[in-house]
Structure 1
Amino acid sequence: MRILFLGDVMGRSGRRAITDRLAALKASLKADFTIVNGENASGGMGLTAAHAKLLLDAGADCLTLGDHAFDQKDMLSFIDTEPRVLRPLNYAREAPGRGFRVFSDARGRKVLVLQALGQVFMKRPFDDPFSAVDAVLRAHPPGGMVQAAVLDIHAEATSEKMAMGHYCDGRASLVVGTHTHVPTADTQILPRGTAYQSDAGMCGDYDSVIGMDKAEPMRRFLTGMGRDRFTPAEGEATLSGVLVTTDDRTGLATAVEALRDGGRLVPTHGIKG
């Protein structure tokens, strides 16, 4: 199975790139299943119901969120009506929605998708992500209950993400980090067969400060004072993510590659016309 994972969609630029280019990218990559992190798709903070529908209609099979899961208030009710949108597993127990779900690709193969929030350097305390992930993976062994399993670890610290990758090695097809908006160069298959990358990067304008228009972040760094709100940069987005190929019998990775398409970053994959 070929699974495409795209990192945090950032504002209008990221949404536009998904709607304009995702279908062609999926066709070029021959992707069987596509997961998109929609954490920052609405003004850089959260995801509205309307924008969730837009990303799903564009070809995402599943949307993951993150620490800004409910910044847009209509997501509080929408997430219970749309099973393709997942919030973090270790969010507050009273939170609506679910942190994992088993999906099917076009051939009926089962794909487990789950998301967890890291604890290190995050502004709010969340439940232990390791025990939350462990319980789900034990109940859905790849190659048994499901043909593939993908974990989106939404965290600040690369050390925590790496620890999660090794913790899940041999039990997941792909462990990929989100949240920092900067694609890392450590794409690999771990010793027991789990594909890993510390951060997928963002789907947004990289002529920016992690997706935000440069002026206000730079002003705050230089003066220590804020004047305006952060607003997403509006230039052409780079679609950043990971493509993993899995063995249906074992659920483990047989190949993985980083993906950067369009925009300012040097491409790691181009659509072949």
Structure 2
Amino acid sequence: MVIIMLGDVVGQSGCEAVRALLPGLRRDYRADAVIVNGENSAQGNGILPSSARHLFDSGANVITTGNHVFRRREIYDLLEAEEGIIRPANFSPECPGTGVFRLDLLRRSIAVVNLMGTAGMEPLANPFDTADRILKTLDTPFVVLDFHAETTSEKRAMGFYLDGRVSVVAGTHTHVQTADEQILPGGTAYLTDLGMCGPVHSVLGVKPEQVIARFRNAMPTRFENPAGGPQYVCGLAVTLDDRTGRAAAVERISRFVEPR
């Protein structure tokens, strides 16, 4: 089984990059499933029903999110109704949506789990304890985790904590792809951060001058995506053993949209 995971999709340009490249990626890797982090897929930030539908129509099977998932109220009803969009499971159970989705694929199923780190982030329920609780409820060896976290140390710790118990631990949130893809000793595929899908000449998907201004004067700034320029899609392709669910191969993905 081959699973593709794509990093944070940023704004309209990120959605368009996914639309341009994902069909080809699915063909090239013969992917059985695609998981995309869409928490910033709306213009500005957050996720809207329109941006979620764009990602599904582009070939995503499951959309994960993170700390911006509740930024747009328009998505609340869809989080409750559309099981293919999940939010971090360690948010309060009173929040809209759920943190686990079971994707059925003919002879097998994949459990996709979304968790959020707490180091430098919101004080949510402990993600390690939440992972333990969720794993007790799952009956498939194919378990994929999007761990939306700020620090590399917390992500690395989660990878080793779940090594041998899940198929993949991939980090999101920082929008910069790391170069530490590996198969951990217990057979879990790992990458600290998948990177992002969107404008190359940006600061995490935002116009550089706006971010520079924020750092220089600390004044509130409305962030926008750069107009035009090259776009890319970043993520990970993982090949899993069809019997055990353990990783057999991992490969980072970083592809540019060809200019028209």
TM tier relative to shorter chain: over 0.9
- Deviation at residue 108 of structure 1 after TM alignment: 3.4
Helix, strand or coil at the partner of 1:185: coil
What one-letter code is carried by the residue in structure 2 that aligns with 1:125?
P
Q: Which runs of 4+ in 1 moved over 4 A?
A: none
* Identity level (%): 42
Is residue 109 from structure 1 mapped to residue 102 from structure 2 by the alignment? no
> What CA RMSD, in Å, does the superposition of the two structures yield over aligned residues?
1.4
Structure 2: give runs of 5+ residues left out of the alignment. Answer: none
Deviation at 1:227, TM superposition (A): 6.2
The residue aligned with 1:136 is: 134
C-alpha distance in structure 2 between counterparts of 1:23 and 1:219, whole Å: 37
Whether the aligned pair in 2 keeps the contact of 1:178 and 1:199 (CA below 8 Å) is yes
Cα distance in 1 between the residues matched to 2:198 and 2:107: 32
**CA 1:194–1:44 in structure 2 vs 1: closer, same or farther (change >3 Å)?**
farther
- Determine the structure 1 residue equivalent to 2:214: 220
Which amino acid is 2:230 matched to?
E
Provide TM-score, normalisation by structure 2: 0.95
Correspondence for 2:58 = 58
Of the three residues 141, 147, 151, the one matched with 1:153 is 147
SS at match of 1:16: helix
C-alpha distance in 1, partners of 2:226/2:85?
Answer: 25
User: What is the one-letter code of the residue matched to 1:242?
Assistant: L
- SS of corresponding position for 2:14: helix
Deviation readout 1:163-200 (Å, 9 max, x if unpaired) = 00001100111100000000001000000000000000
Counterparts of 1:74-85 in structure 2 under 5 Å? 74-85=74-85
1:249 aligns with 243
1:263 CA drift (Å): 5.0
**Whole-Å Cα distance in 1 between the matches of residues 151 and 220 of structure 2?**
28
Could you tell me the TM-score, scaled by structure 1's length? 0.91
Is 1:208–2:202 an aligned residue pair?
A: yes
Question: 1:205·1:263 contact (CA, 8 Å) conserved in 2?
Answer: no
For 2:136 and 2:161, the matched residues in 1 are separated by: 12
Q: Secondary structure at the match of 1:86?
A: coil
Which residue number corresponds to residue 271 of structure 1? none
How many aligned residue pairs are there? 257
Question: Which one-letter code corresponds to 1:32 in the other structure?
Answer: D
AA aligned to 2:72 is Q
